[in-house]
Structure formats: C-alpha cells, structure tokens
C-alpha cells in the first residue's frame, strides 16, 4: 500500500471502534517529546541542521525490524491538502505542517504510530489506540522510543529529564490524552463544571484537534499538564483514574437524560439519522454535530444497524481536507457540501 | 445592552481580559458566549500554557514572588545565542544547553509549572547505568523517609541496607 492510499482510506486502526469503553472514549494517545543532544531545537536550528536531524532520524528508523511497515514522508513531498489530511487523521499537529521545509513525518501503515520530525521538538513520538487503552499506548510509544535511541543520543539532564523546547514538556516529555465524547454532560450543562474540576486536578481539556481548536460534536481531549517530577506510570495512572470518573459521570448523565426526557432524546437521534441519510448539502460542522447524536443513539440501542467503526469513519470522511482530496481541490464550498452529503448517505445506506 | 455578536439577545456575559497590559472587553449573550468559546476558559484559543507563562515571566510581581532575578541582563546561551528576553517573548528555549545557561531562572519557573523540579521518569539507556542507579538511590531514600514516618522499622532497615549497597557500588561522588 502506498502512503497516498493510507491517507485516503476512510479508516485506520485506531478508529476501528473495538477499544474498551468505546461508548465514551473514542481513542487514547501517548506522545513523547524528544530532542537530539547537541543540536539546536527546531525553532533555532538552520536549514542544514534540520536536514541533519531528518537524516539521523531516517537512519534510526531504517534500523527498525519492521521497517517495511513504516513510511518516512518529508512534508515537502506532500501537497497542502495531504498535509492537512495528516492533521485530520490525528497523525500530526496543525503547527507541524505550517512550514514543510525540512520537516517530516514517519507513519506506521496502520496509523497506530507516527513520529513527527522537527515539530516544536526534534521528535514527537505518538502512539494512538482505539478506545480507552492508555497503558497500551504508553507501552508502544516507549518501545519506539527505545528503538530510536539505539542510534540517536537524546538531550537529557539528570535533574530536568528529557529536555524540550518548551518548559511545559520537560521531564518525561509525555503527553497522554484521551478523546472523549460527552454529549450527556454537555446537554445537562455540566461540562463547564467538569472541566473546571479537571483543571484543578492538573488536567487540560481541549477541542478535537488539540490546542486552541474548537470542541466539535461534543468531543474533547483530556490530557496531563504536568510532565516533570512524576514517573510516566504515575502520570498515566492519574489520567486514567480521572478519565474513569468522567466516563461514569457521562454514563450517569446519559441515564438521567433518558429517564427525564427520553422522548426528546430519541427524537433528536432519529432527526440526526434522518438528516444524515437524506441531506443533499451538509457542512463539516453540521455533519460532525449530527454524528455526535448518532453516537449517543448507538449507546442507547436506538440504531442497532450501526456500529462505532462506521461513525468513526464518518467523522474522518466529513473533514474538509478529506473531501477536497476525494472531490478535487477546485471545488467550491457548496460542491464540497454536496459531495460530503453524498458520501455520508452512501456510507449509511450500507447499514439500513 | 445587546450582545455584540448576534445583536439580538441581551448581553449577559461580560468578559474582561488583560493580556500583556492590554485589556479587551466583550459583551455577549449566553448562546454566543458558548459558541465563540468565550465561556470555555480552558479550551479558549488565546489561553495556552506557553502564552500563560510568557505572561507570567513578564509580570514583575510574579518574578518577585518567585524570588527571580528580574533579568539576567546580558546572559546569552553560548550554544544557540538565545537571550533571556527572547525566551520570555517566545516561551521556547533554543537548545539543550539553554537549560544550563538559564538554570537559575528556569528552576522556579519549572517548580511553578510542574510543582517539582526533579525528573522522576524514564532514563535513556545511553545516559548510562550510573544515572539509573542514582535515581534508584533517590527513590530508596524517599521510601526510607516514608517508612520511618510510618514507624515501619523493619522495612526501613531493609531499605537502609539496599541504600548502603547501592552507595558502595556507585562509589564516592555517587551522591
């Protein structure tokens, strides 16, 4: 399979909808920030130094025993749409693709592993799993880290741990996050309270695509803020325990909603289904919000013909760059809305 | 007053923000405040951690509170040339050596950000066995203190023996 096919397929391993607690937790992610010793960080490095880092990382990846499952993509090789696709597929960050020169990304063919090269740090190692699987994600990211270290020498300090461009990442360089779907807490207007509580517990809440992005479709990312002074296991255990509480609260909220205003909820789910199966023009935002309602309907056993994988795939399919890739870049916004509506209808038709 | 976003509903949410001495005010209705994310102080686009501590480092009161030297003046990282002013403005360090250059300024900042300043996580294999042994030693000493506090003397004696053995292995200078 070519990398282009990978970026265009409607699915990826972490969207398979099979992970634990899938009703609330869409995916789990661990990201490790690493820098190479004796090289300036990307924000200060010149082009030649950045190139050296690309080469050194390339050599390290060449030593992977399963090298044939990895693709090293210099961002200059990708057009703007493909680069945006990487962000939509959660393989990299919006910041990383701003300046493609001497920047690259390494992806494993199932998209469970990605390594950003010359993002804010020389390396950002990411492992992504479906559902609530933080420990598995940490284990995998740690393994990739160990493998890279066979050839690379990391910037490390006995006191400060792994050194990073931003002091907020120093120490473990670990950012663990869960992507959660919280329609119940949003509908009951409790989400603000929950986030305030999470912030007191040292966790950060963000929108779908990380820092500074909008929370669409009641989906949020919760991650650790602190990276220094605790072990990776402690940081993970903390996020895990709190996420469990959030899951319980969301489940409670859904039960409460169903009990108090079940007819309204059922109506909302089927309206969403009606719109998605019949609309001829649909914006990305509207589609994502409706998919959120279907997701809730799935949990309430209202849509037995659907499954989480389809809905996860629909989410991917709704994104702007994906549509542009499929429909062609020259299309107007309205033509894209038409294409999106058609893709969704077609996808859902298989499950009637 | 009407909501400045939709011009339809009365403005019930009033937000005043001061960032780098620049104050902005917004007057919105509930709906628009929620839509524009103004109510979501955590996920708001202007609020990010690097921005926050760049602001913190700029505040004289905060610098004083931390007991920081207001500005290390002419200090410049010998490896990458980053000045303290540049760090304050951008919130990013330029290279691994910066952590040595600005140790004095960074320690209180890191303590504020993370609550602690001593790494307790993974150690790269290349950093050698000594580092790992020293970290183990630190952990054992902490465990010893806790054991003594709990008056678990049997456990404490066991920990003490392990600490002695490890110290012997590390030799002089091994902390």
Are A175 and A62 in the same domain?
yes
Cα–Cα dist B147/B170, whole Å: 23
The partner residue sitting opposite B117, judged by closest CB among A213, A228, A231, is A228
Q: Chain A contacts of B170, Cβ < 8 Å?
A: none
Q: What is the CATH number of the domain that holds A20?
A: 3.30.590.10
Phi and psi dihedrals of A29, rounded to 5? Answer: -140, 140
> Would you call B99 an interface residue with chain A, using a CB distance cutoff of 8 Å?
yes
- Lookup: tokens for A48: 């030649």
The partner residue sitting opposite B114, judged by closest CB among A39, A163, A229, is A229
Q: Is A43 in contact with B90 (Cβ distance < 8 A)?
A: yes
Are A19 and A141 in the same domain?
yes
CB A120, CB A165: distance < 8 Å: yes
Are A95 and A188 in the same domain?
yes
pLDDT of residue B45: 42
With cut-offs at 50, 70 and 90, classify the pLDDT of residue A103: very high
Is residue A144 a part of any domain in this protein?
yes
> Would you call A261 an interface residue with chain B, using a CB distance cutoff of 8 Å?
no
Are A285 and A222 in the same domain?
no
CB A297, CB A263: distance < 8 Å: no
Are A35 and A136 in the same domain?
yes
pLDDT of residue B37: 62
- Lookup: tokens for A90: 């959660």
Tens of pLDDT, residues A281-326: 999 889 999 999 999 999 999 999 999 999 999 998 888 888 888 8
- 């919006």: which residue's tokens? A94
Cα–Cα dist A235/A289, whole Å: 32
Measured N-to-C along each axis, helices A333-349 and A232-278 cross at an angle, to the nearest 10 degrees, of: 90
pTM of the model: 0.80
Tens of pLDDT, residues A186-229: 999 999 899 999 999 999 998 775 555 556 899 999 999 999 99
- Lookup: tokens for B146: 């806790």
Query: CA-CA distances (angstroms) from residue A275 to A286, A287, A289, A348, A352?
Result: 10, 9, 11, 11, 14
Phi and psi dihedrals of A131, rounded to 5? Answer: 70, -160
Is residue A352 a part of any domain in this protein?
no
pLDDT of residue B170: 73
Mean pLDDT of A319-337: 85
- In this prediction, the answer to ipTM > 0.95 reads no
The four Cα atoms B13, B14, B19, B23 give a dihedral, to 10 degrees, of: 160
Is residue A192 a part of any domain in this protein?
yes
Are A197 and A338 in the same domain?
no
Cα–Cα dist B54/B131, whole Å: 32
- Lookup: tokens for B19: 């960032």
- Lookup: tokens for A332: 């107007």
Last residue of a domain, one of A221, A254, A287: A254
Are A250 and A277 in the same domain?
no
CA-angle at A18, arms to A13 and A22, nearest 5°: 115
Label residue B62 exposed, middle or buried (CB < 10 Å: 0-12, 13-18, 19+): middle
Q: Could you list the residue range(s) of the whole structural domain that residue A79 is in?
A: 3-254
With cut-offs at 50, 70 and 90, classify the pLDDT of residue A70: very high
Q: CB contacts < 8 Å between A and B, how many? A: 149
> Best of A32, A50, A228, A232 to disrupt the B interface by mutation (most B CBs within 10 Å)?
A228
Cα–Cα dist A254/A260, whole Å: 10
Are A44 and A193 in the same domain?
yes
Last residue of a domain, one of A207, A237, A254: A254
Count the domains in chain A: 2
Helix or strand holding residue B14 (H, E): strand B13-19
The four Cα atoms A60, A65, A71, A74 give a dihedral, to 10 degrees, of: 10
Give the least confident one: A12-16, A52-56, A307-311, B12-16: B12-16
Is residue A166 a part of any domain in this protein?
yes
Are A195 and A309 in the same domain?
no
Is residue A189 a part of any domain in this protein?
yes
Last residue of a domain, one of A204, A238, A254: A254
Q: Is B126 in contact with A41 (Cβ distance < 8 A)?
A: no
Query: How many whole angstroms from its chain centre is CA B32?
Result: 34
Is residue A89 a part of any domain in this protein?
yes
- Spatial CA neighbour of A221 closest among A195, A202, A200, A196: A195
Are A233 and A317 in the same domain?
no
> Would you call A94 an interface residue with chain B, using a CB distance cutoff of 8 Å?
no
pLDDT in tens, chain B (175 residues): 788 877 777 777 777 777 767 777 888 877 777 776 665 544 444 455 555 665 666 555 555 555 555 556 678 899 999 998 888 888 999 999 999 999 988 998 999 899 989 999 999 887 666 777 777 888 888 889 999 998 888 889 989 988 888 888 776 544 4
Neighbours of B56 (CB within 10 A): 18
> Would you call A199 an interface residue with chain B, using a CB distance cutoff of 8 Å?
yes
Q: Is A35 in contact with B96 (Cβ distance < 8 A)?
A: yes
Is residue A283 a part of any domain in this protein?
yes
> Would you call B170 an interface residue with chain A, using a CB distance cutoff of 8 Å?
no
Tens of pLDDT, residues A155-182: 999 899 999 999 999 999 999 999 999 9
- Lookup: tokens for B100: 């040595």
Are A250 and A113 in the same domain?
yes
Are A39 and A168 in the same domain?
yes
Q: B37 Cβ partners below 8 Å, 6+ apart?
A: A214, A215, B43, B44, B45
């Amino acid at each position: 399979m070519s990398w282009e096919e990978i970026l265009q397929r409607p699915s990826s391993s972490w969207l398979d909808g099979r992970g634990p607690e899938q009703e609330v937790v869409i995916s789990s992610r661990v990201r490790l920030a690493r820098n190479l010793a004796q090289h300036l960080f990307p924000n200060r490095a010149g082009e030649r130094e950045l190139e050296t880092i690309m080469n050194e990382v390339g050599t390290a990846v060449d030593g992977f025993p399963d090298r044939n499952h990895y693709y090293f993509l210099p961002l200059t090789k990708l057009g703007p749409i493909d680069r945006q696709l990487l962000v939509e597929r959660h393989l990299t960050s919006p910041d990383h693709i701003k300046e493609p020169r001497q920047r690259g990304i390494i992806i494993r063919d199932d998209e469970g592993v990605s390594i950003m090269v010359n993002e804010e740090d020389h390396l950002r190692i990411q492992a992504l799993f479906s559902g609530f699987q933080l420990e598995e994600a940490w284990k995998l990211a740690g393994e990739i880290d160990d493998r890279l270290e066979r050839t690379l020498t990391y910037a490390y300090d006995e006191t400060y741990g792994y050194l990073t461009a931003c002091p907020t990442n120093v120490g473990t360089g670990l950012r663990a996050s869960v992507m959660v779907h919280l329609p119940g807490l949003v509908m009951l207007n409790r989400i603000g309270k929950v986030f305030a509580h999470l912030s007191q517990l040292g966790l950060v809440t963000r929108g779908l695509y990380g820092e500074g992005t909008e929370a669409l479709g009641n989906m949020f990312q919760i991650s650790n803020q602190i990276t220094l002074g605790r072990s990776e296991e402690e940081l993970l255990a903390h996020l895990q325990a709190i996420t469990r509480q959030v899951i319980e609260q969301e489940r409670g909220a859904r039960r409460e909603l169903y009990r108090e205003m079940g007819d309204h909820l059922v109506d909302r789910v089927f309206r969403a289904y009606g719109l998605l199966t019949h609309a001829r023009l649909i914006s990305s935002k509207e589609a994502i919000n409706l998919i959120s309602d279907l997701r809730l309907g799935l949990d309430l056993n209202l849509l037995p013909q659907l499954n989480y994988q389809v809905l996860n795939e629909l989410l991917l399919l709704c994104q702007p760059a994906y549509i542009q890739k499929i429909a062609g870049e020259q299309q107007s916004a309205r033509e894209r809305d038409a294409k999106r509506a058609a893709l969704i209808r077609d996808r859902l038709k298989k499950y009637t | 007053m009407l909501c400045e976003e939709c011009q339809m509903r009365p403005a019930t949410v009033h937000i005043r923000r001061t960032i780098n001495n620049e104050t902005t005010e917004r007057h919105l209705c509930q709906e628009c405040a929620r839509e524009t994310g103004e109510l979501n102080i955590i996920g708001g686009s202007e609020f990010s951690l690097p921005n926050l501590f760049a602001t913190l480092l700029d505040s004289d009161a905060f610098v004083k509170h931390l007991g920081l030297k207001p500005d290390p003046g002419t200090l410049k990282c010998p490896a990458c040339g980053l000045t303290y002013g540049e760090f304050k403005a951008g919130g990013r360090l330029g290279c691994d050596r910066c952590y040595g250059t600005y140790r004095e300024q960074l320690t209180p900042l890191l303590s504020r950000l993370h609550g602690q300043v001593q790494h307790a996580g993974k150690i790269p294999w290349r950093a050698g066995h000594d580092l790992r042994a020293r970290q183990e030693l630190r952990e054992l000493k902490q465990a010893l203190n806790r054991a003594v506090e709990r008056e678990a003397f049997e456990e404490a004696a066991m920990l003490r023996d392990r600490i002695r053995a490890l110290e012997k292995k590390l030799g002089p200078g091994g902390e």
